[in-house]
């Protein structure tokens, strides 16, 4: 796929492309939908094989944000930014690049609000906000923000696992269930802790060598990467990068359900049907992981306390997943398709509310 076809086929509103001549980085800001409110979504910063894959990632992630906010029934639209670093990026250039990126956000004048994603942190949000304020979520508490979005995202994913267990056999408890987590970064780590506390058996895999020791130190069982997909477990929880549910991996899966934090887990929409055909229950990713975006924006933009945010995230994830599972069961359609129908209904409602 080339950039021209990607843009022509995209169902979003706007894409901004900026070349940062000082570093050679490309910045892509994708505004998927402002129908329900200003477009919000994190900034992903990493190197990509080429500009086309960076644009493709930005477009797909932005669409996911629209779904996430609509699923949460939240008055916010979907957007996402990608900072595609050159292969030879000098990390001493990072702060300058983030400040110039902030200036770009400022220029957009509130069309797009950013936050953290893979490759960026709350400390980075502080730097971006030096020029990009006030359109930056999840700054550090010292700078007046709500801090890391990982823990509240992880809490939402935990409730997604409970709703998934409930759908499997009527019992939401995680006690005695075997969960396999792919990636124990900020979100996976929170999830692992909550699962252990609930009495689950937790295994994990992570491509970072230091993570193996970290996980084992709290009693998680290490699974080597080559055994990851075929390991027998109750729930497989992808909490790393996207595209991992595909024609190669789905036939290997040895689990009853998939529910995790990673964005864009399905490589293609058809992979949802592949899971359905194998009777593996799939909890759509953008519902499982809506806690970060909903919780942080709720605290910062709507003045929720952390306790209120946690309660609302738990309720939004649980209720939406229950609706999705019920529709999927009633109509014999994949959970992905069911979730899209439900979200589209909420999008229509958003249009009425705002009189657009």
Residues annotated as catalytic are 80
Q: What is the DSSP string of 243-299?
A: --BSTTTGGG-B-SEE--S-SS-BSSTHHHHHHHHTT-EE--HHHHTTHHHHHHHHH
Minimum gap (Å) between residue 201 Cβ and ligand PPY:
28
Phi, then psi, of 223 in degrees rounded to 5: -120, 125
Is residue 149 at the binding interface for ligand PPY, with CB under 6 A as the rule?
A: yes
Minimum gap (Å) between residue 25 Cβ and ligand PPY:
19
Selected from 263, 265, 318, 328, the binder of ligand PPY by CB under 6 A is: 263
Contact positions with ligand PPY (CB under 6 A) in 39-78: 40-42, 65, 68
Closest CB to ligand PPY among residues 138, 314: 138
Selected from 296, 321, 324, 339, the binder of ligand PPY by CB under 6 A is: 296
Minimum gap (Å) between residue 298 Cβ and ligand PPY:
10
DSSP H helical ranges for the chain: 3-9, 51-71, 94-108, 122-132, 150-169, 186-197, 209-217, 270-277, 285-288, 291-302, 306-331, 335-354
Report DSSP state, residue 208: S
Contact positions with ligand PPY (CB under 6 A) in 7-46: 40-42
For residues 255 and 282, give the distance between their C-alpha atoms in angstroms, rounded to a whole number: 11
Closest CB to ligand PPY among residues 121, 149: 149
Report DSSP state, residue 43: E
For residues 137 and 89, give the distance between their C-alpha atoms in angstroms, rounded to a whole number: 26
Closest CB to ligand PPY among residues 234, 285: 285
Return the structure tokens found at 44: 């992903």
Instruction: Encode 170-189 in three state secondary structure.
Output: CCCCCCCCEEEEECCCHHHH
Query: How far does Cα 93 stand from its chain's mean position?
Result: 27
Selected from 203, 297, 320, 328, the binder of ligand PPY by CB under 6 A is: 297
Contact positions with ligand PPY (CB under 6 A) in 108-147: 115-117, 137-138
Closest CB to ligand PPY among residues 54, 253: 54
For residues 335 and 349, give the distance between their C-alpha atoms in angstroms, rounded to a whole number: 21
Minimum gap (Å) between residue 71 Cβ and ligand PPY:
11
Minimum gap (Å) between residue 289 Cβ and ligand PPY:
6
Stretch touching ligand PPY by CB under 6 A, among 199-207, 232-240, 246-254, 286-294 = 286-294
Report CA-CA distances (Å) from 17 to 7, 54, 61, 63, 155.
12, 11, 16, 17, 34
Return the structure tokens found at 288: 């499982």
Report CA-CA distances (Å) from 91 to 61, 85, 97, 180, 341.
25, 10, 10, 34, 43
Minimum gap (Å) between residue 241 Cβ and ligand PPY:
12
Minimum gap (Å) between residue 80 Cβ and ligand PPY:
6
Closest CB to ligand PPY among residues 55, 255: 55
Closest CB to ligand PPY among residues 62, 97: 62
Is residue 188 at the binding interface for ligand PPY, with CB under 6 A as the rule?
A: no
Closest CB to ligand PPY among residues 60, 337: 60
Query: How far does Cα 188 stand from its chain's mean position?
Result: 12
Stretch touching ligand PPY by CB under 6 A, among 210-218, 237-245, 272-280, 285-293 = 285-293
Residues of the shown chain interacting with ligand PPY in the complex, contacts defined by CB under 6 A: 40-42, 65, 68, 115-117, 137-138, 149, 263, 289, 292-293, 296-297
């Amino acid at each position: 796929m080339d950039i021209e076809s990607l843009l022509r086929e995209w169902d979003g509103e706007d894409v901004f492309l900026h070349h940062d001549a000082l570093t050679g980085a490309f910045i892509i800001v994708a505004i998927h939908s402002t129908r329900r409110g200003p477009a919000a979504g994190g900034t992903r910063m990493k190197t990509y094989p080429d500009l086309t894959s960076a644009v493709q990632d930005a477009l797909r992630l932005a669409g996911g944000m629209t779904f996430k906010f609509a699923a949460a029934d939240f008055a916010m639209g979907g957007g996402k930014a990608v900072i595609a670093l050159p292969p030879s990026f000098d990390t001493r250039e990072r702060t300058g690049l983030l400040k110039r990126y902030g200036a770009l956000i400022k220029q957009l004048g509130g069309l797009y609000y950013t936050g953290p994603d893979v490759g960026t942190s709350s400390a980075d949000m502080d730097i971006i906000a030096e020029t990009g304020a006030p359109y930056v979520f999840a700054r550090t508490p010292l700078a007046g923000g709500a801090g890391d979005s990982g823990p509240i995202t992880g809490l939402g994913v935990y409730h997604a696992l409970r709703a998934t267990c409930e759908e499997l056999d009527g019992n939401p408890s995680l006690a005695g269930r075997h969960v396999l987590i792919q990636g124990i970064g900020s979100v996976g780590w929170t999830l692992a802790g909550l699962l252990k506390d609930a009495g689950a058996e937790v295994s994990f895999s992570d491509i970072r060598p230091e993570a193996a020791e970290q996980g084992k130190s709290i009693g998680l069982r290490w699974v080597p990467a080559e055994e990851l997909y075929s390991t027998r477990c109750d729930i497989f929880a992808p909490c790393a990068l996207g595209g991992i549910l595909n024609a190669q991996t789905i036939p290997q899966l040895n689990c009853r359900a998939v529910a995790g934090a990673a964005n864009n887990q399905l490589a293609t929409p058809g992979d949802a049907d592949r899971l359905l055909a194998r009777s593996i229950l799939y909890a759509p990713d953008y519902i499982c992981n809506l806690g970060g975006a909903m919780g942080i924006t709720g605290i910062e933009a709507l003045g929720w306390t952390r306790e209120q945010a946690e309660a609302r995230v738990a309720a939004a994830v649980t209720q939406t997943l229950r609706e999705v599972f019920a529709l999927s069961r009633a109509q014999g359609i994949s959970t992905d398709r069911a979730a899209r129908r439900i979200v589209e209904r909420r999008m229509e409602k958003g249009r009425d509310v705002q009189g657009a």
